[in-house]
Amino acid sequence: MASFQTKSFLKHDDYMTPKYAWENIQQFIPKDKVIWEAFYGDGQSGKDLEDLGFNVIHKPVDFFENNIGDIIVSNPPFSKSKEIMERLKILDKPFILIMPCAKLCTSYIREYFKDDKILQIIIPRKRIHFMKHVDGQMVEGWKPQCNFDCFYYCYKMNLENDITWLE
């Protein structure tokens, strides 16, 4: 969902995750773990994960000051990716995050995860088309047509392959 309720990010970070983005990867998310959907947005993403049968903690709390649940499954604010990835490395908690594919080439991803050899990628068949919000409301007339590709970045998820291509 790419926004915090408790922080002030630029409006370009307010893009909500469509339910199909979670449906695409539900087979890779363990049902026996408590998911922390760490970035609240409009709250729908947590409901969507619950609808898929997961036990989800999804409330508007500050990601940088909390550590709840067993794994993190979320779409974080892209403008805060470096700080978020640094925090995730410190937490050392399994996660699946939706982020632009270009983030894979950043120096901070390389710095934080190159030695672990446990960062895995799930590549969707098609682009994820996020829903834009401004001031907490869906933008009227918005056509969800994303102009960049995203991957699911997975850490300590023990996937069968380091790169998984979705059908």
* DSSP notation for 17-30: PPHHHHHTTGGGS-
Report the distance separating Cα 14 and Cα 46, nearest Å: 16
What CA–CA distances, in Å, run from 39 to 95, 110, 148?
A: 13, 23, 21
Q: Are 149 and 101 in contact (CB under 8 A)?
A: yes
What CA–CA distances, in Å, run from 139 to 3, 17, 41, 108, 110?
A: 15, 14, 14, 32, 35
- pLDDT score of 138: 60
- pLDDT score of 113: 85
- pLDDT score of 114: 82
- pLDDT score of 152: 97
Report the distance separating Cα 152 and Cα 136, nearest Å: 25
Joined together, the tokens standing for residue 1 give: 């969902």
pLDDT of the chain, 167 residues: tens digit per residue: 444 444 444 445 667 789 999 999 999 999 999 999 999 888 889 999 999 999 999 999 999 999 999 999 999 988 899 999 999 999 999 999 999 999 999 999 988 888 777 899 999 999 888 776 556 656 566 666 667 899 999 999 999 999 999 98
- pLDDT score of 144: 63
- pLDDT score of 147: 72
Report the distance separating Cα 76 and Cα 58, nearest Å: 13
